[in-house]
Amino acid sequence: MKQLQEKIKNEGKVLSNQVLKVDSFLNHQIDAFLMREVGKEFADRFKNDGITKIVTLESSGIAPSVMTALELNVPVVFARKRKSLTLTDQLLTASVYSFTKQEENTIAVSGEHLSSEDRVLVIDDFLANGQAALGLAEIVEQAGASLAGIGIVIEKSFQEGGKILREKGFRVESLARIKSLEKHVVQFLEETEE
């Protein structure tokens, strides 16, 4: 997605060979107009898949998910990372290992909002090692729902996540794929490359 690549080039800050900071439009301040375009793009890619629900993870997955949900006319369910006072019934949970934080976290969704009738699109802001997406896929499976695919705003192709998810047979649609962050330069993987 050209517009997203331009935004990353202009406003993304390369913090290291591994980490791209996009706090000006995705992870802190949100560019709602860009998110609307992101939503249109995901919706276009999944428009023929009979999606009934979008599942994401708080917090940065919520904005692109809501925009996609408006286009597809479906609800969004976001998995919670922290214990909730009210989220207590029929919990579907998965354990997600964070490489950066080196800790295991439980993510949870209420079974009330996900059923075997659902055809799910999972959306997240970043794909790095793929652990969050795997956790969400596990929750979808626990609900007996089917997973149509995984929509990612920014995939870091030099990390393992994309490979792991695609090898498991998941359909992964990433709107920007980063090949390298070396020498403080963002290099994109073009559509012809793999």
Check residue 60 for interaction with Na ion (CB under 5 A): yes
Q: Which of residues 5-44 bind ligand G4P (CB under 6 A)?
A: 19-22, 27
Check residue 65 for interaction with ligand G4P (CB under 6 A): no
Nearer CB in complex with Na ion: 143/153: 153
User: Which range binds ligand G4P by CB under 6 A, 37-45, 86-94, 121-129, 136-144?
Assistant: 121-129
Question: Which residue intervals of the chain are DSSP H helices?
Answer: 2-11, 32-45, 62-72, 131-142, 161-167
Q: Is 159 left (phi over 0), alpha (psi -120 to 50) or beta?
A: beta
Check residue 118 for interaction with Na ion (CB under 5 A): no
**Residue in 124, 44, 34 with CA at minimum distance from that of residue 78:** 124
Residue reference for tokens 């047979």: 169
- Contacts to Na ion by CB under 5 A: 60, 125
- Contacts to ligand G4P by CB under 6 A: 19-22, 27, 59-61, 98-101, 125-126, 128-129, 131-132, 156
